[in-house]
């Protein structure tokens, strides 16, 4: 795709994450937010006014606008397949917020359709677009950390019940992040064992904390944790932490390295790195659509991440360690 005009982007969905994607589009020199559609029209109009773009009455109206080259699917998980399919059928490139699909089969369907249409369709695996994560991958690939020993991907950020009620639970909502980071840094795991708990919700049935232990293909061990139950304000807090340990070195990435003292949508503080990861993701998405860059993460990676999530759920449901084929 070669043109002098900015890549025209439309949003399906105007929830909390749309604010970050709008910032990403605004910060990218080669993108322009044309407009959005949202199921609740009043919310959509308010967000469009704040973003400086137009609104559409239906998804079809957005997709028939010739100014739109690509669509960011920012709706709830259960609708992703429907809207991704609509966008691809309309000839639009697609960026899909994570979690990408409800099942492996849904993600495979998206992959096959995108391939048949010759269109870009990538998952919103934003964490791996952070420079610290990319540099860690480079150190691993270059052998600078020696043999991989352990990987930790931790997340401890309190979410009130009324916010958590919007999400399917921390396994699907947060451990998907942990899983694709693990895949990016360490490759596919060989085994998984997991537990979950519900500690501070009065009404909703979702879990608010889950922990996962994995054996990697080379025998290294990994530990993932996702929690909406409580913040961690102790020394060197595990708010969001990635740590890789090898026989010849180690690396760390943390939200706490960039903090603004102001509340965010849910968080008591603003963790600047999260916003930055989406800005970097949007920029790469535009360059991929232009044929100027390769994806850091593909729908194959989204399938592998979903396989880990389903393995976690099976481990919890059956009380077993799950072996991956």
Which domains can be identified in the chain, with CATH numbers? 7-124 (3.40.50.720), 128-278+306-323 (3.30.360.10)
Q: How far is Cα 267 from Cα 41, in angstroms, rounded to an integer? A: 26
Q: How far is Cα 242 from Cα 170, in angstroms, rounded to an integer? A: 17
- The pLDDT of residue 2: 52
- Sole residue written with tokens 């991956």: 324
Q: Which helix (H) or strand (E) holds 306?
A: helix 299-318
Q: How far is Cα 177 from Cα 165, in angstroms, rounded to an integer? A: 19
Contact in structure between 24 and 32 (CB atoms under 8 Å): no
The DSSP call for residue 296 is S
State whether the Cα torsion 33-71-17-55 is positive or negative: positive
Q: Which helix (H) or strand (E) holds 172?
A: helix 170-173
Ordered mean pLDDT values, 10 residues apiece, the chain (325 residues)? 82 95 96 98 97 98 98 96 98 97 98 98 97 97 98 96 94 97 98 98 97 97 98 93 98 92 79 91 97 97 98 98 93
Which burial class, exposed, middle or buried, applies to 260 when counting CB atoms under 10 A from its CB (0-12, 13-18, 19+)?
Answer: exposed
Q: How far is Cα 242 from Cα 186, in angstroms, rounded to an integer? A: 12
Task: Enumerate residues 6+ apart whose C-beta is below 8 A from 20.
Answer: 274, 275, 278
State whether the Cα torsion 145-147-153-154 is positive or negative: negative
Task: Enumerate residues 6+ apart whose C-beta is below 8 A from 79.
Answer: none
Task: Enumerate residues 6+ apart whose C-beta is below 8 A from 166.
Answer: 15, 76
- The pLDDT of residue 78: 95
Q: How far is CA 45 from CA 33, 87, 218, 316, in A?
A: 14, 21, 51, 42
Task: Enumerate residues 6+ apart whose C-beta is below 8 A from 146.
Answer: 246, 247, 248, 249
Query: What is the per-residue burial (b if ≥16 Cβ within 10 Å, else e) of 119-142?
Result: bbbbbbbbbbbbebbeebbebbee
- The pLDDT of residue 266: 72
Which burial class, exposed, middle or buried, applies to 263 when counting CB atoms under 10 A from its CB (0-12, 13-18, 19+)?
Answer: exposed
Backbone Cα Rg of the chain: 19
Report the alpha-carbon angle 37-41-46, nearest 5.
90
Structure tokens at 78: 């259960």
């Amino acid at each position: 795709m070669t043109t002098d005009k900015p890549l025209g982007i439309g949003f399906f969905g105007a929830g909390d994450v749309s604010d970050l994607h709008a910032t990403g589009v605004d910060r990218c020199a080669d993108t322009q937010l044309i407009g959005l559609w949202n199921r609740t029209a009043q919310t959509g109009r308010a967000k469009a006014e704040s973003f400086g773009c137009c609104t559409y009455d239906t998804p079809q109206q957005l997709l028939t606008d010739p100014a739109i080259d690509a669509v960011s699917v920012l709706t709830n998980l259960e609708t992703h397949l429907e809207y991704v399919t609509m966008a691809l059928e309309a000839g639009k490139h697609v960026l899909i917020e994570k979690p990408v699909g409800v099942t492996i089969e849904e993600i495979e369907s998206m992959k096959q359709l995108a391939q048949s249409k010759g269109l870009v369709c990538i998952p919103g695996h934003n964490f791996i677009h952070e420079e610290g994560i990319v540099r860690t991958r480079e150190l691993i690939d270059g052998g600078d950390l020696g043999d991989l020993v352990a990987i930790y991907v931790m997340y401890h950020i309190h979410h009130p019940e009324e916010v958590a009620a919007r999400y399917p639970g921390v396994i699907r909502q947060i451990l998907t992040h942990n899983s694709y980071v693990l895949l990016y840094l360490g490759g596919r795991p060989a085994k998984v064992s997991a537990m979950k708990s519900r500690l501070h919700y009065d009404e909703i049935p979702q879990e608010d904390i889950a922990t996962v232990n994995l054996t990697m293909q080379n025998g290294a061990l990994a530990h993932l944790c996702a929690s909406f139950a409580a913040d961690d304000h102790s020394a060197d807090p595990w708010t969001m932490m990635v740590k890789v340990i090898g026989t010849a070195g180690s690396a760390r990435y943390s939200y706490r390295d960039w903090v603004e003292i102001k509340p965010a949508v849910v968080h008591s503080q603003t963790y600047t790195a999260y916003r930055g990861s989406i800005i970097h993701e949007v920029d790469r998405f535009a360059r991929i659509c232009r044929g100027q860059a390769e994806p850091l993460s593909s729908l194959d990676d989204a399938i592998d991440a979903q396989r880990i999530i389903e393995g976690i759920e099976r481990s919890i449901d059956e009380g077993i360690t799950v072996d991956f084929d």
